[in-house]
Amino acid sequence: MAVFNKFSVFLDGLTGGGMDLLGTGAACDDIFVMLMVPGAPTPPLITDTVLVCSTDPATLTGSGVSEIAAGNGYVHLGTDAVVTGARVTTTYTLTGTNMTWTSSGAGMASFRYVVVYNATFSAAATRTPIGWWDYASTLTLAAGETFTVKFDNQAVTGAILTII
């Protein structure tokens, strides 16, 4: 099972009031997107930065993240995640429904990491990274194969992170 790693800028977004993580379905709720990345997020992304959309379809500028090539089952800038949040007394849990990609055509580009980020704002705006999962080795999907991110290794829905 891959381990979740959070970005420090995500904590800034939480403490600065820049994110709506309760996921109540309201118009102002944040939208979370997951993308596949072949190389490790570089130190600027791990410490303090934001994802910025680029005109280059494979690069999120200033972020240290270059996603895999679009096509064959993968969409540029990732796939919307079904995420909800809930607070019970002093504990907050962000949960997600498992994400599945199916490779088609000649097969999807190789990847090792899956990054989740806040894509609430317009394409030209900055996007706050939440965290990433490291799958420990490069994965390659042949045509027809699937890859599923299982949050907290649950069958359908599981915890992405818990704040106590």
Alpha-carbon distance 1 to 164, whole Å? 23
Q: Which pLDDT tens digit goes with each residue over 69-119?
A: 889 999 877 888 888 877 788 888 888 888 899 999 988 999 998 888 777
Alpha-carbon distance 163 to 91, whole Å? 6
- Does 161 have pLDDT greater than 50? yes
Domain chopping of the chain, boundaries: 3-163
Q: Whole-model pTM above 0.75?
A: no
Q: Which residues, in sequence order, are CB contacts of 133 under 8 Å at separation 6+?
A: 2, 3, 4, 5, 113, 114, 149
Structure-token match 């080795």, residue found:
137
What pLDDT is attached to residue 120?
66
From 41-50, 136-145, 151-160, the region with the lowest mean pLDDT: 41-50
- Does 64 have pLDDT greater than 50? yes
Q: Please give the torsion angle defined by the CA atoms of residues 115, 118, 119 and 122, in that order, rounded to the nearest 10 degrees.
A: -140
